[in-house]
Amino acid sequence: MQAIARANVAKPAMKAVSLSSRTPSASRFGKVGAKAIAPRSVRMAQTIVAEGTCMQFVKGVDEEVVPEVKLTRSRTGSTGTATFIFKNPAVFDATGEFGEITGLYLVDEEGELSTVDVQAKFLNGKPDRIEARYVMKSTYEWERFMRYMERYAEDNGLGFQS
């Protein structure tokens, strides 16, 4: 689900990615791009490009389970909270392979939103679900989160319910 461009790879099937510091995605990767070394050679920095939107508990490992999302917003509209409930997430099966859960990462074409407020809930001693809270402290953060959720909903066939 991710394309990877590696340094000095001469495979024609691999997609080269070039970002300038002026593109919206560049802030996610820092200053990355093609740099001419000699007239006939180009060196690319290693770049990971997410295709579409995804949620991750371990960086680089997409969560396949689509969560239930509950939103609250202050009366002034300046703050809000998103609560994610993942029932039987795939990360429970893959945690040993890829590492430990380090937070919830919401990745899209604009960059990454993240929270470390993540709790595993157990039922009869077995992992049942993961609950994560993402707090938005400004109107800008709320609008950025809503743009992410619109993309995520489109990619996963979701809609709003009141």
139 and 74 in a single domain? The answer is yes
Query: Is 161 part of any domain?
Result: no
- What is the 3-state secondary structure of the chain? CEEEECCCCCCCCCCCCCCCCCCCCHHHHCCCCEEEEECCEEEECCEEEECCCEEEEECCEECCCCCEEEEEECCCCCCEEEEEEEECCCHHHHHHHHCCCCCEEEEECCEEEEECCEEEEEECCEEEEEEEEEEECCHHHHHHHHHHHHHHHHHHCCCCCC
* One pLDDT digit (tens) per residue for the chain, 162 residues: 444 333 333 333 333 333 333 334 343 333 333 333 333 333 322 234 446 799 999 998 999 999 999 999 999 988 999 999 999 998 888 656 777 889 999 999 999 999 999 999 999 998 899 999 999 999 999 999 999 999 999 988 877 666
Same-domain pairing of 71 and 14: no
The domain of 91 spans 54-156
Regarding whether 68 and 24 lie in a shared domain, the answer is no
Residue 75 and residue 100 in one domain: yes
pTM over 0.85: no
